[in-house]
Amino acid sequence: RKGRDSKDRPHRGSLITKAPDEIKSTDKSLIKKVADMKPKQEVRSRYNNYSTGNFDLEGFISKHGIQVQERADFSGGKKIVLDHCLFDHSHKGKDAAFFQMDNGAISYKCFHNSCSSYKWQDVRKMYEPDAYNYQDRNQGHSSFGTKPVVKQVSEEQKQKEINKKGEKFLEFSSIKEVDRSNLVYIKTHIPEIDKKIIGWLKGELTVISGLSASGKSTILGQFALNAIEDGFKVGLFSGELQAHRAKNWIQLQASGRQFTTPTKYDSVFTVNEKHKRLIDVWIKDKLYIYNNEYGHDFVQMIKDFEDYIVKNSLDLIILDNLMVMQIDALSSNNYGAQGKAVQALSSLAKRRNVHILLVAHPKKTTSFLRAEDISGASEIRNLADNIIVVHRCNKDFKVRMAEYFGEAEASKFDDNTNTIEVCKNRDIGIQDLMVGLYYEVESKRMLSEPYENIIYGWQELLDEPLPKIPDMKPDLDAFANEKPFQVDKMFNTTDGAPF
């Protein structure tokens, strides 16, 4: 692992296992590329509101409350070691620092690969978003450089803005309270979660994460069907599934085990054509699946989704997942692009009053998966109104959960196949809520109770009696005949059932 040498994690020796047969000189253009990375001196220009003198880095640190571990001089400047990385607070222990050269040039560096793309300019814009947008004006100096240019606005424009947004500062007693009963929530249909967080509040963004094969796509399909059952309309992007496979998945989940038929392949079930047609009729005009043939360009996709939200009055948007979206055009570095993408989605949710469920994959981890393990920019976690983690209750989960929460807490989920965890809920403040689920192989459903029978509206279209749900009681005769058990006698209880 990366990091300092310690007793618990000592550095180990390494060796070269592979090398080219011929060692060639490094191309000059590559060396120049590295040289060009040297920090440039910050000077006042039409894009930068600095004075011509050195930037007051210490004043900047003090003003924004940035925590410092230590300061040290080195040849050519000084190094200011921070308490943690400014873009990922989990990166601690001398892993991030400012460097200020004697000529005034400033740079920022986090030594973790995931944050290596961040520069001083990214830090500056994070704390002072308009730092590089002001025009070049000589209007005196503040402690941090030139004062920003104040844009002149006419009285008529000011009045229009006030009429649209209200006063810039609100008098406390004039703020209107919001009646929670008037807020629109989309129920998850997982009773314990709906009891705690009510459901997905329209106008918010939820980030869903989980390890591979944990059940993220499965639970999202069910959220879509549950929303449709309650009268909401859904837009779905499934970047890793072709449209026909996504439809097949939804059909199985809408059917339930009593309407599925096994195939010659293990754990593969199907729905008969008659019931598929009824499901199509029920879902018509309620679920729209994005056509992947149009590509995954983020800007175009969000425009398309917004058009469909307006055109078809969509309520719930499901995006599976962020990692397959093409976001390169949003920023020169991937983390910056991810941050802007999540900002755009959060803005879209509020602007169009929809709820957005966004899947974001986690980093590789050997410990119990937490919200902090979601891969990518910190804005993914910070801007999310809810963070949900889906776990698969395999051996690794049980061991890691016991290490994190203790054996007693982990044992509560011994009978579950999956769990869904609310790690963050901005509306009510719920966190660390873990709910056990049961995966039903025949229908790909996640059930709140074993053998729970979820009935969707398409079944009302049936012109035939509902088939009997398969009897899930154990066959005691067959059970008794299995080794190592030996039955000497059989008894009957008062109700005639085998005992």
Supply the pLDDT for residue 147: 47
Q: Out of 222-226, 376-380, 487-491, give the one with best mean pLDDT.
A: 222-226
pLDDT tens for 175-219 read 888 888 889 999 999 999 999 999 999 999 999 999 999 999 999
For the segment 235-239, the average pLDDT, to the nearest whole number, is 95
- Pairing type for strands 106-110 and 141-142 reads unpaired
Asked if residue 230 lies in contact with residue 408, where contact means CB atoms within 8 angstroms, the answer is no
- Is residue 467 pLDDT above 80, yes or no? no
- Is residue 169 pLDDT above 70, yes or no? yes
Phi-psi region of 296 (alpha: psi -120 to 50; beta: other; left: phi over 0): alpha
- Is residue 463 pLDDT above 90, yes or no? no
Supply the pLDDT for residue 333: 83
Given the structure tokens 């598929």, which residue do they identify?
Answer: 276
Q: Provide the pLDDT confidence category of residue 116 given band limits of 50, 70 and 90.
A: confident
Q: Kind and range of the H or E element at 57? A: helix 57-63
Alpha carbon distance 411, 407 (integer Å):
6
Supply the pLDDT for residue 118: 84
Alpha carbon distance 222, 199 (integer Å):
14
Supply the pLDDT for residue 135: 43
Supply the pLDDT for residue 377: 81
141 or 403, greater pLDDT: 403
326: its two tokens: 């093409």
Asked if residue 419 lies in contact with residue 448, where contact means CB atoms within 8 angstroms, the answer is no
Q: Provide the pLDDT confidence category of residue 421 given band limits of 50, 70 and 90.
A: very high
Q: Provide the pLDDT confidence category of residue 143 given band limits of 50, 70 and 90.
A: very low
Alpha carbon distance 254, 246 (integer Å):
12
Given the structure tokens 């449709």, which residue do they identify?
Answer: 228
For the segment 119-146, the average pLDDT, to the nearest whole number, is 64
389 or 48, greater pLDDT: 389
Alpha carbon distance 197, 427 (integer Å):
8
Supply the pLDDT for residue 488: 56
33: its two tokens: 């590329």
Q: Provide the pLDDT confidence category of residue 285 given band limits of 50, 70 and 90.
A: very high
Supply the pLDDT for residue 144: 44
Of all residues in the chain, what percent carry a pLDDT higher than 70?
85
Q: Provide the pLDDT confidence category of residue 168 given band limits of 50, 70 and 90.
A: confident
261: its two tokens: 């038929």
Supply the pLDDT for residue 192: 96
Q: Which range (55-69, 88-102, 133-147, 220-234) has the least confidence?
A: 133-147
Of all residues in the chain, what percent carry a pLDDT higher than 90?
49
- Is residue 439 pLDDT above 60, yes or no? yes
Mean pLDDT score of the chain: 84
Q: Kind and range of the H or E element at 289? A: strand 287-289
Supply the pLDDT for residue 260: 94
Supply the pLDDT for residue 241: 86
DSSP 374: B
386 or 112, greater pLDDT: 386
Alpha carbon distance 195, 193 (integer Å):
5
Supply the pLDDT for residue 64: 84
pLDDT tens for 304-329 read 999 999 999 999 999 999 999 999 88
Supply the pLDDT for residue 46: 38
Q: Which range (23-37, 154-168, 352-366, 377-391) has the least confidence?
A: 154-168
Asked if residue 107 lies in contact with residue 41, where contact means CB atoms within 8 angstroms, the answer is no
Q: With CA atoms as reference, report the closest residue to 323 among 288, 375, 284.
A: 375
pTM of the model: 0.64
Alpha carbon distance 95, 111 (integer Å):
5
Asked whether the CA dihedral 273, 275, 279, 280 is positive or negative, the reply is positive
pLDDT tens for 27-72 read 898 898 888 777 665 544 333 343 434 688 988 998 888 888 888 8
Alpha carbon distance 150, 148 (integer Å):
6
Q: With CA atoms as reference, report the closest residue to 253 among 470, 472, 452.
A: 452
- Is residue 289 pLDDT above 60, yes or no? yes
Alpha carbon distance 279, 277 (integer Å):
5
Supply the pLDDT for residue 140: 41
For the segment 363-381, the average pLDDT, to the nearest whole number, is 88
Supply the pLDDT for residue 145: 45
Q: Provide the pLDDT confidence category of residue 131 given band limits of 50, 70 and 90.
A: confident
126 or 279, greater pLDDT: 279
- What's the full length of the chain, in residues? 499
Supply the pLDDT for residue 138: 42
- Is residue 142 pLDDT above 50, yes or no? no
- Pairing type for strands 141-142 and 145-146 reads antiparallel
101: its two tokens: 């050269």
